[in-house]
Amino acid sequence: MLIKFFRNGQGGGSGPVNYLVERDVVAYDQNRNAIRDERGEVMLFAREPLPEVLRGDADRMRALIDVCPHQWTYRAGVIAFTAEDGPNPAQQRQVMDAFESLAFAGLEPDQHDMLWVRHTHEGRVELHFVTPRMELASGRSLNIAPPGYQKHYDALRDVLNKEYGWNDPMAPERARETVSLIESVRRGDAALDSPASRFKELQDEKPEEAELWRGKLSAFCSLYGFLSQIIPYQDTDLERLYVFLRHLATKLPKRGAGPSYQFDDEVRLEYYRLQKISEGSISFSDGQANRLEGPSEVGSGILREEAVPLSRLIDVVNERFGTDFNQADQFFFDQLVEVAVSDAALKQAAAVNPADKFELVFKNLLEALFVERMDQNEEIFARFVNDKSFQKVVTGWLSSEAYRKLRLADAMGLGGELQDAKT
């Protein structure tokens, strides 16, 4: 048995609730590709046996999610068993009770609601659940799976598996079956090989047309990734297209214009040459000293803000940690920096401290900003809180960017607020 939370959580109640209770759903092949008929339309198949509502009311759940005032409106997931587990109805009720006791710890029954639906059409028991992302009495945000939640639900999973003798999904011999338990829309690499090959053929025959298509792919992924952060979508076909194209982009061959280079995150000095150019002496003489002009070629004569794209941070964390953050995530980081540099205390810290000491002050402010904005990007927040290496890299980059902006603004005479803070 395993417990899995789905990443979806925005939009109205019809999407998640209908997925749980509807008879007809999209048909997939063994690679999780939607099966289409001869006209290219997505085919449906009927769940048999039909989904069974075990607890809660579907109409009430739709209504609760619809009126949820928060950006993230619901939490959904599944407790999935293998065919060998075969939990009986009494055991299933005990599992739901234990799950709700953990999810809604400290809350009264009238403060929360949850819809439970049993699926058995795959030849095994799957207990699907969905709950609104709000506490019902006050309307405040209620997240039953906050950052760091996995360890608590993993502990519950392990206790129940041991008590009832169910299969452990973490056991190496169960790894293949564990993957098949989760209904996911993510395509495997095998499904990407064919379109990637067709693109390579187009690139060889019509390179300009191929690059035009690549540009459209990139533009769609960037725009959809950004808009999906602020506008709830319920078009499942559009979401599947986005997921497919985002992964396909990483499989496409590189552009053929000129040689390609791969650089590490850091430049390592292999060797250097020391050569004497000239030799002489400097003599001093009496008389009027000439005016000494400051250097200007190096940039100290006129201060100009160098464009340092913050997207490099996205590139670094994606490369180093295997994440797939996109333009929308970059926008989230941009917002953190812009809010941070407007803080008066941080301005003062930048004015009187070197960069390493400034980072200590910045780190405390950054953690507070992450907590305030956890609902805006839960994936980054969870990674930041739980992964110390990721936290160190992100903090270092954002601190450096904020420090550069503040020192430059102060040097250019734009730090009026800083002067006020000092006085």
pLDDT at position 231, please? 62
Question: What is the domain extent for residue 94?
Answer: 2-181
List, for residues 216-234, the tens digit of each pLDDT value.
888 888 887 777 666 655 5
List, for residues 20-66, the tens digit of each pLDDT value.
998 887 776 655 566 777 777 777 778 889 999 999 999 999 999 99
Judge whether 265 lies within some domain: no
Look at residue 266 and tell me whether its pLDDT is greater than 50: no
Picking from 161, 181, 201, the residue at the C-terminal end of a domain is 181
Lowest mean pLDDT among 183-197, 235-249, 300-314, 321-335: 300-314
pLDDT at position 6, please? 85
Look at residue 288 and tell me whether its pLDDT is greater than 90: no
Lowest mean pLDDT among 41-50, 87-96, 263-272: 263-272
Look at residue 205 and tell me whether its pLDDT is greater than 70: yes
Residue 101 pLDDT class (50, 70, 90 cuts): very high
370-396 average pLDDT score: 81
Tell whether 117 and 139 lie within a shared domain.
yes
Picking from 231, 249, 267, the residue at the C-terminal end of a domain is 249
Judge whether 278 lies within some domain: no
Lowest mean pLDDT among 54-63, 339-348, 364-373: 364-373
Residues 6+ apart with CB under 8 A from 378: 72, 147
Tell whether 11 and 125 lie within a shared domain.
yes
Secondary structure E strands in 81-149: 115-119, 126-132
Tell whether 157 and 194 lie within a shared domain.
no
Rounded-to-integer distance, Cα 250 and Cα 256, Å: 16
Residue 296: C-alpha distances to residues 291, 299, 304, 351, 405 (Å):
15, 5, 12, 23, 21
Residue 417 pLDDT class (50, 70, 90 cuts): very low
Picking from 229, 249, 269, the residue at the C-terminal end of a domain is 249
Q: Which of 110-119, 246-255, 278-287, 370-379 has the highest mean pLDDT?
A: 110-119
Q: Which residue has the higher pLDDT, 31 or 193?
A: 193
pLDDT at position 418, please? 41
Radius of gyration, CA atoms only, the chain = 28
Residue 22: C-alpha distances to residues 64, 81, 119, 172, 203 (Å):
19, 21, 11, 34, 43
Tell whether 133 and 79 lie within a shared domain.
yes
Residue 144 pLDDT class (50, 70, 90 cuts): very high
pTM listed for this prediction? 0.45
Q: Which burial class, exposed, middle or buried, applies to 236 when counting CB atoms under 10 A from its CB (0-12, 13-18, 19+)? A: middle
pLDDT at position 304, please? 45
Tell whether 174 and 197 lie within a shared domain.
no
Judge whether 106 lies within some domain: yes
CA 180 to chain centroid: 23
Judge whether 316 lies within some domain: yes
Judge whether 304 lies within some domain: no
> Do 208 and 267 contact (CB within 8 A), yes or no?
no
Judge whether 280 lies within some domain: no
Q: Which of 119-123, 283-287, 386-390 has the highest mean pLDDT?
A: 119-123
Q: Give the chain's domain count.
A: 3
330-340 average pLDDT score: 86
Residue 75: C-alpha distances to residues 3, 49, 62, 131, 133 (Å):
13, 25, 13, 5, 6
Q: Which residue has the higher pLDDT, 35 or 383?
A: 383
Rounded-to-integer distance, Cα 185 and Cα 247, Å: 12
Tell whether 170 and 114 lie within a shared domain.
yes
Residue 378 pLDDT class (50, 70, 90 cuts): confident
Tell whether 346 and 410 lie within a shared domain.
yes
The CATH number of whichever domain residue 94 belongs to comes to 3.30.930
pLDDT at position 419, please? 41
> Do 66 and 13 contact (CB within 8 A), yes or no?
yes
pLDDT at position 116, please? 97
pLDDT at position 120, please? 93
